[in-house]
Each structure stands twice: as C-alpha cells, then as structure tokens.
Amino acid sequence: MTCELLSWYIALLDKVKKRYLKNKHRWRNVVKKVWIFDCDGVLRNFSWHGVYRAYIEIARHFGCYESFVQKYPDIISFRGMCSHDWHKNLAVMGIHGEKNAGIANDIFTRVYFSQVHMFTWVPDIIAQIAQKHIVAVFSNSSEKSVHKSLQNVREYVAMILGHEQVTHLKPSPEGIYCIMKRFASDAKDVIMIGDSDADILSGKNAGVKTALVEWGATDTEKEQVALGADVIVRDPKELPYIF
C-alpha cells in the first residue's frame, strides 16, 4: 500500500469515526417497536356460535353430548363455562389426557376454523405497520390455524406464537416475554393488541402497552372500560397511529 493510499484510508476512517460519534445517540435511539396482535377477533372474525357448535361436536365424539347440552343449552350458558384455557374447558367436560386433547383440537379446527377468515383490511394495515415496526402474533389458538388464516400477510409477520409454543396461555405474559426476548425488546417498546380480557391482562402482566379493539369478543362498552386498556381502537384504520 502506497503512502498516499494509506493516508487516504486513515483519513476515511477518521471521518467515519467522527460521523459515528456525532450521530451515535440518534442511531441508538432508532428502535423498532414490536406490535403483538391477538388473532381471533382482531385479525380474523370470531364467532361464539361457531365455538359453541365445535364444542358440541367434541362432546358428541366423546360421548358426553347429552350432559353437555343439558348443562349448556345455549350460547349464553356456554360462555359462562368457556375460559381461555383449552385444557380446563376439556376437563370440565370430562375429557383428559394429551391424546384426547389432540383429538378434540382436530375436531375444533375442522368445525370452527372452516367458518373463519381474515378481515379484508388486514393486508393493507399490517403492511403499513411492518414498514417501520416489527409485527408478531400471539394467539391461544393453534399456530397452524393462524398460519393458514394469515398466509396472505405472512411476509409482514416476523413471528407467530400459538398455544403449542407456551406452557401457560394468556392471560399469562409468557408468550409476550418470548416475543420480547426474540427481538431483544424493552417493555416500553411493545404493545399488545387484543379483543378480550386475556389479551389485555397478558399485556398488563408483561408491563407493556395495551390496546383493545371494539370489533372482537368484548362486545359491550362496560366490558371495554372495565378492562382498562391504554387505548381503545374503534376502527382498524386507527391502528397504525396508536403507538
């Protein structure tokens, strides 16, 4: 290397160093925020009628149909029993064991998820958010069903977490912690967007910001206020501007 070239190289390194020192604080502050979406009721439609019908088919398969419809003759009584904990619901019906849970899950997937679809606004809104931020999905449903529903926007979703990947379902913050660890994110840079008490509580338990959408399972203003989310989203078009 000639003396002239060496001098030029040293001068270039010095210039790069000075530029870094001048802008390092600004560069370090450019942090991508993580937007964690629930799936059912938020990104795809939710139907209590469909859930009830799926549980009836599960009860029919396991021979407890008569007792099930006697205890839960309508959707209102069924909603009082149905929790966010899949295994707890099955236990109430007298269905135990991982093998039986797998069979029940297959029945639920066949009956319920044949009726659900991704909302038409999702591709545009998710693509808009993903331009600047990280988009993840954390659902108490199976990862497979979420992948299937969101296949048209999969390129914009950095991570999908279903009930198979966690030990404790929402409202446990375990899934949110997994996503935060994956992207090395601080709680202040994360928002959990959902439609139910489990979603909002999981966000609060993780110490992140929370947003409740109006078009999901929580269908009364009284319920929405009681959950105490940081933000209530009334229209999907508002989503890119809430965080």
* Residue 51 contacts residue 141 (beta carbons within 8 Å): no
pTM for this entry: 0.80
The whole-angstrom separation of Cα 165 and Cα 142 is 9
The whole-angstrom separation of Cα 51 and Cα 39 is 15
What is the topology classification, in CATH, of domain 34-45+117-241?
Rossmann fold (3.40.50)
3-state class (DSSP) for residue 117: coil
Closest Cα partner for 101 from 68, 58, 41? 58
> Where do the structural domains in the chain lie, given as residue ranges?
1-28, 34-45+117-241, 48-112
* Residue 85 contacts residue 163 (beta carbons within 8 Å): no
Per-residue pLDDT of the chain (243 residues; tens, 9 = 90+): 566 666 666 666 676 666 655 555 554 556 789 999 999 999 999 888 999 999 999 999 999 999 999 999 999 999 999 987 888 999 999 999 999 999 998 999 899 988 889 999 999 999 999 999 999 999 988 898 899 899 999 999 999 999 889 999 999 999 999 999 999 999 999 999 999 889 999 999 999 999 999 897 665 565 666 678 999 999 999 999 999
Contacts 24+ apart (CB under 8 A), 77-85: 78/48, 78/51, 78/52, 79/48, 82/51, 82/55, 84/140, 84/169, 84/170, 84/171, 84/196, 84/198, 85/169
